[in-house]
Amino acid sequence: MTADASSFSFALAGVEGEARAGTLQTPHGEVPTPAFMPVGTYGTVRGLHPAEVKRAGARVMLGNTYHLHLRPGEEVVRALGGLHAFSHWDRPMLTDSGGFQVFSLEGLRTIEEEGVAFQSHIDGSYRTITPERAVEIQWDLGADIAMQFDHVVPGGSDHALAREGMERSLRWLGRCKTRHLELQSAGEAPPRFPASPPSQALWPIVQGGTHPDLRRASLDGILERGPWTGIAIGGLSVGEPKPVMHAVLEQLAPVLPREVPRYLMGVGFPQDLLAGIARGVDLFDCVAPTRNGRHGSAWISTGRVNLRSTLHRLSKEPLDAECDCETCGTFSRGYLRHLFVAGEILGLRLVSIHNVRFLVRLAEQARAHVLEGTFDGWSREWLRRYQLKGES
Amino acid sequence: MTADASSFSFALAGVEGEARAGTLQTPHGEVPTPAFMPVGTYGTVRGLHPAEVKRAGARVMLGNTYHLHLRPGEEVVRALGGLHAFSHWDRPMLTDSGGFQVFSLEGLRTIEEEGVAFQSHIDGSYRTITPERAVEIQWDLGADIAMQFDHVVPGGSDHALAREGMERSLRWLGRCKTRHLELQSAGEAPPRFPASPPSQALWPIVQGGTHPDLRRASLDGILERGPWTGIAIGGLSVGEPKPVMHAVLEQLAPVLPREVPRYLMGVGFPQDLLAGIARGVDLFDCVAPTRNGRHGSAWISTGRVNLRSTLHRLSKEPLDAECDCETCGTFSRGYLRHLFVAGEILGLRLVSIHNVRFLVRLAEQARAHVLEGTFDGWSREWLRRYQLKGES
């Protein structure tokens, strides 16, 4: 089997329409869903201490295989005890496969059936990632959940290109699974911290662009190659119009297996989180909380706030009076603005903490409302208030 | 009187040779001395959260009047509750007078008896700081301890120039004191957080360059204008040879009043801290812990460590096995190196935490040894070990 069934499980606790509330069990503990996963590109959620990420309520962190492969290299992470010990994160960890990043390197890479040859954006060195290598790297990193290596095509790709990527992703899924099984049966556990069952799940990724027949074929191919403890949906939020993304999710919701979590990759603006949850998604990730945070842009319950604005110069108010994060409980908007204007590092850190907590809490609130059967009404009202000012 | 004697006091608890251990009382609590004060230039110790500065054991923080005057402006800090509330620091705060920064602006400033006219390095605007303005700005900032505005001359200045600066500093001290008394008797308290007695101390600064007769004249002039709750020594560590700095401290130690704390401005490398304590200094400040931290340079008990070095690539060891800081208890050198190589913000933060704790603890250890009468031997052994590798 592809994953140790004793270490991974998913239990649905409530369903309202297509929206779901559940609990994912992993070797590093459980993740109540829906859940937002902050992105720790290089083994750190940018600017934040792992203790801050934990206090923000995050139950699972994402690591980027492509970036960690280039710096410091999976052999270094493994020698230092694996990604959990390396970055001092004792909760579940998920790694992407590097596919998305490798395919973003326009002009720097060559795609063949064997894999993708590319030039490192760090030192110009030539590298190749194959499905087998992607699985091996993630094994060395030691995440709880590894993702298949997939062929990502640009958003808006025509049927022929989307089909090519989808079919190759299925063939690569087979090779990923074979290599993952070999690593597991070799008995050499991925590095783990703290000590935990030596198991790692491998999750497939549904591709097919915006073409319903291809999405369906992708899912069918994935299910033939199962069983799986989770299934991801890739190739969305890459420039296509929002209604198109929603249509794909609406098509997949009733046909995805109910009993495994569904992870919508790279999605995580507040509206998208709620739209995804309404369409049956359980897991999300996005760099936006920290990327926006670094620029002084914060999400609050009534929309978006630009902390560099002179509006906040004399404001004693917290960033978000309804927020329970460390930043809002401690500092004024006036101080936060000052930190951004003066270029002080503490500013981006404090706003990143808030943004991460904001999305984690939004998922927590959605979960509570699904369990109470009030998600639909709450979500509509939440979005109305959030979008009232016309910003997003 | 220049300071509210009921809010400020200093008690010597032990003396060994010239080295002293004492306790400074302020409206925001006590400061056991010797003590190292981290510098919060813009109302934040660069990169650190005030809670981290506190957990590093710092008992008093320094703010830079010149920088805070330009950004965000003392009127903003005052409107937001004063520097304590603004930056969420509930322990004692000391502000410098801006003299040092203004006099560093070669070519951008004009010195007259009235004060110093200069161009802001931020927006090119023309400003003037007089002794009265320096006191008013610090009153608005609301520090526990304000410093006099002084005329700082370059290190190595000849007798004539050093005398000019010293004599002007004395005249300016008189004006600072007059304005400070006016502000106090106006009854309008400086902003304070949390609520505390509405008092602020004003401390004078001994100048006179490297010339013993001028240093002595400076101190005599200061004492004539007293009483004071603390006295600073300025114009050192500005490029003069170490033995020259030591000679000035040795000259002053026996003639400075025993019953007030002595603050050596801008000094804070480990060796200088111990050299200063051995010569009767009670308080120190320096930006080196965070400036070095940002570049991956750390002090440890056996010397200096460059965390960018490839030496640490696979190291599971803590930065300093003898250190009790949050960084050393949590992360490996290999991870810290990775953060610096990858340009991750968390790296500079973790090393800054260590460096601040290192200096704060060095002062704490010195205090304990003075109280036990073992400072001299301990200090010699500490320096021998620290300098063994020839780095410093």
- In tens, the pLDDT along A300-332 reads 999 999 999 999 999 999 999 999 999 999 999
Q: Which residue of A has its CA nearest to B67?
A: A342
Active site residue B96: yes
If you ran DSSP here, which 8-state letter would residue B143 be given? -
Residue B332 tokens read as 């490996």
What pLDDT, in 10s, does the model give residues A130-165?
A: 999 999 999 999 999 999 999 999 888 999 999 999
Cα–Cα distance measured from residue B78 to residue A314, given in angstroms and rounded to the nearest whole number:
10
Question: DSSP letters of A222-263?
Answer: HHHT---S-EEE-S-SSS--HHHHHHHHHHHTTTS-TTS-EE
* Burial readout B220-237 (b: 16 or more C-beta within 10 A, e: otherwise): ebbeebeebbbbbbbbbb
Does the pLDDT at position A190 exceed 80?
no
CB B79 to CB A339 under 8 A?
no
The CA distance from B75 to the nearest CA of chain A, in Å, is 9
B345: nearest CB among A46, A313, A341: A46
Does the pLDDT at position A369 exceed 70?
yes
Interchain CB contact of A87 with B (< 8 Å): yes
- Confidence (pLDDT) at B63: 97
Mutation target for A interface from B140, B345, B349, B350: give the one with most A CBs within 10 A.
Answer: B345
Interchain CB contact of A66 with B (< 8 Å): no
Tell me what the mean pLDDT of segment A285-301 comes to.
97
Over chain A, what is the mean pLDDT? 93
Which chain A residues contact residue B316 at CB under 8 A? Answer: 80-81
Question: Considering the entire predicted model, what is its pTM?
Answer: 0.95
CB B338 to CB A47 under 8 A?
no
- Confidence (pLDDT) at A147: 98
Peptide bond into A34 cis (omega under 30): yes
Peptide bond into A194 cis (omega under 30): yes
If you ran DSSP here, which 8-state letter would residue A287 be given? S
Peptide bond into B72 cis (omega under 30): yes
* Residue pairs spanning A and B at CB distance below 8 A: 102
Closest CA to A208 of A181, A245, A179: A245
- Residues of A assigned a catalytic role: 96, 285
- Confidence (pLDDT) at A211: 97
Beta-strand (E) ranges in chain A?
A: 9-16, 19-26, 29-33, 35-40, 61-63, 93-95, 109-111, 116-119, 126-129, 145-147, 201-203, 205-206, 231-233, 262-264, 283-286, 297-300, 303-306
Closest CA to B227 of B207, B247, B198, B202: B202
Maximal C-alpha separation, chain B = 63
- Confidence (pLDDT) at A104: 83
Tell me the residues of chain A between 285 and 324 that have a Cβ less than 8 Å away from chain B: 313-314, 316
Q: pLDDT digit of tens for each residue in chain B (392 aa)?
A: 334 446 899 999 999 999 999 999 999 999 999 999 999 999 999 999 999 999 999 999 999 999 999 999 999 999 999 999 999 999 999 999 998 888 887 777 888 999 999 988 888 899 999 999 999 999 999 999 999 999 999 888 999 999 999 999 999 999 999 999 999 888 676 676 655 556 899 999 999 999 999 999 999 999 999 999 999 999 999 888 999 999 999 999 999 999 999 999 999 899 999 999 999 999 999 999 999 999 999 999 999 999 999 999 999 999 999 999 999 999 999 999 999 999 999 999 999 999 999 999 999 999 999 999 999 999 999 999 998 875 43
- Confidence (pLDDT) at B68: 97
- Confidence (pLDDT) at B195: 54
**A12: β partners:** A22
CB A49 to CB B349 under 8 A?
yes
Cα–Cα distance measured from residue B324 to residue B56, given in angstroms and rounded to the nearest whole number:
9
What sign results for the dihedral spanned by CA atoms A277, A282, A288, A290? positive
Q: Which of B96, B144, B282, B320 is catalytic?
A: B96
Phi, psi of B380 (to 5 degrees): -65, -45
SS3 A265: coil
B80: nearest CB among A67, A335, A349: A335
What pLDDT, in 10s, does the model give residues B177-232?
A: 999 999 988 867 667 665 555 689 999 999 999 999 999 999 999 999 999 999 99
SS3 B95: strand
Cα–Cα distance measured from residue A238 to residue A242, given in angstroms and rounded to the nearest whole number:
10
SS3 A277: helix
Active site residue B123: no
A88: nearest CB among B71, B331, B348: B331
Going by their DSSP bridges, the two strands B262-264 and B231-233 should be labelled as: parallel
Choice among A95-99, A222-226, A294-298 with the minimum mean pLDDT: A95-99
Closest CA to B178 of B129, B128, B131, B146: B131
Enumerate helices (H) and strands (E) in chain A, giving the number of each: 14, 17
If you ran DSSP here, which 8-state letter would residue B262 be given? E
**A392: β partners:** none
Cα–Cα distance measured from residue A199 to residue B289, given in angstroms and rounded to the nearest whole number:
43
Residue B362 tokens read as 């060095």
Peptide bond into A72 cis (omega under 30): yes
